[in-house]
C-alpha cells in the first residue's frame, strides 16, 4: 500500500493529519533532535498510517527522512529509549516529610534517612516512560539502548570504591548527599527494572544487574545519615 492511499483513507475517516503531512512533521522534529517532539510526531505518523504494518511505517521513514547524523530510524529508537516519566524529574522527588532538607526539627528525617529524596512512585525511580508507551516495533531497539546506558553507568560505579564511602559521607553537605543519593537511587531503579522486565532471558545481564543493584544498596546505606547532615553539626 502506498502512503497516498493512507492519506486518503485517513482524510475519509476524519483523521486530522494525513500520512505525508505527518511524515513531514516527523522529519522536522528529527532535524530538531528533541526527544519529546520526535516521540509525539512518530505516534502521530503511526496514527495517520492507519492499518499499515509498523515495519512498513519504519521503511517509509527510512526512505522519506534523511539525516546527517545517523538514520532517522535510529533517532526514533533513541527518542523512545530516552522517554522520561511525566510525573517526576529524574525519577526522584524531594522527600515530602522534610521538604528535601534531610532533617525534621534538627533530627534526621525518619522517611528519607537524611538523603532528602524519595523515589517517584509512578516510574519507580527510573525516570523512564512506561515500557507500554513504547510501540512494539520500537521496543526491542529502545530497550537495548537502555541496557547499554545502564552498562555504562555500572562501569562508572565499578570505579567508585565502597571503602571510600562511609569516610566521605560524613563530610557531605545536604546538597551533595541529595545529589549522590538521587543518582544512585535512579541507577538502582533502572538496573532492577531491566533485570526484572527487560532482560529476563539473558541470565548474564540479570545476574550483573542484580549484583549492581545490591552493591548500590550498600552505597545508599552508607549515605543514610546516622546523625543530622554535616552543616547541622557545626
Ligand atoms: Zn526526608
Ligand atoms: Zn517518575
The pLDDT averaged over each successive group of 10 residues in the chain (234 residues) is: 46 65 95 91 96 94 79 92 88 91 89 89 91 91 91 85 57 76 91 82 83 89 64 46
Q: How far is the CA of 231 from the centre of ligand 2 (A)?
A: 30
State how far the Cα of 143 lies from the Cα of 110, in Å rounded to an integer.
36
Q: Are 196 and 188 in contact (CB under 8 A)?
A: no
Query: How far is residue 123 CA from its own chain's centroid?
Result: 9
Half-sphere exposure of 140 (CA within 13 A, CB side): 2
Query: From residue 149, how far is each of 82, 139, 142 by CA, in Å?
Result: 10, 15, 11
User: Which residues crowd ion ligand 1, with CB under 5 Å?
Assistant: 95, 97-98, 109, 111-112
CA nearest to 206, candidates 196, 214, 217: 196
What pLDDT does 165 receive?
60
What pLDDT does 130 receive?
85
Quick one: which ligand is closest to 99's CA? 1
Query: Residue written as cell 526512505?
Result: 63
What pLDDT does 170 receive?
57
CA nearest to 178, candidates 89, 108, 94: 94
Q: How far is the CA of 127 from the centre of ligand 2 (A)?
A: 5
What pLDDT does 68 receive?
67
Quick one: which ligand is closest to 121's CA? 2
Quick one: which ligand is closest to 85's CA? 2
What pLDDT does 43 receive?
96
Note the pLDDT tens digit of each residue in 105-140. Answer: 989 899 988 888 999 999 999 999 888 889 999 999
Q: How far is the CA of 184 from the centre of ligand 1 (A)?
A: 16
Q: Where along the chain do its domains lie?
A: 3-81, 92-233
What pLDDT does 163 receive?
55
Amino acid at each position: 500500500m502506498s502512503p497516498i492511499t493512507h492519506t486518503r483513507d485517513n482524510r475519509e475517516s476524519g483523521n486530522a493529519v494525513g500520512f505525508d503531512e505527518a511524515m513531514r512533521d516527523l522529519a522536522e522534529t528529527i532535524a530538531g533532535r528533541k526527544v519529546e517532539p520526535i516521540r509525539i510526531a512518530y505516534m502521530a505518523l503511526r496514527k495517520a498510517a492507519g492499518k499499515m504494518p509498523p515495519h512498513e511505517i519504519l521503511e517509509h521513514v527510512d526512505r522519506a527522512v534523511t539525516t546527517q547524523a545517523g538514520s532517522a530510524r535510529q533517532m526514533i529508537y533513541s527518542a523512545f529509549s530516552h522517554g522520561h516519566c511525566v510525573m517526576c524529574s529524574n525519577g526522584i522527588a524531594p522527600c515530602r516529610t522534610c521538604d528535601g532538607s534531610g532533617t525534621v526539627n534538627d533530627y534526621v528525617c525518619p522517611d528519607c534517612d537524611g538523603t532528602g529524596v524519595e523515589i517517584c512512585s509512578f516510574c519507580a525511580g527510573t525516570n523512564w516512560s512506561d515500557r507500554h508507551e513504547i510501540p512494539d516495533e520500537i521496543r526491542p531497539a529502545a530497550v537495548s539502548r537502555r541496557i547499554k546506558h545502564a552498562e555504562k553507568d555500572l562501569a562508572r560505579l565499578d570505579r567508585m570504591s565502597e571503602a571510600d564511602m562511609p569516610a566521605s559521607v560524613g563530610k557531605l553537605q545536604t546538597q551533595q548527599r541529595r545529589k549522590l543519593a538521587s543518582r544512585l537511587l535512579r541507577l538502582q531503579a533502572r538496573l532492577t527494572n531491566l533485570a526484572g522486565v527487560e532482560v529476563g532471558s539473558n541470565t548474564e545481564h540479570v545476574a550483573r544487574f542484580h549484583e549492581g543493584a545490591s552493591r548500590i544498596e550498600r552505597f545508599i546505606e552508607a549515605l543514610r545519615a546516622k546523625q543530622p547532615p554535616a552543616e547541622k553539626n557545626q
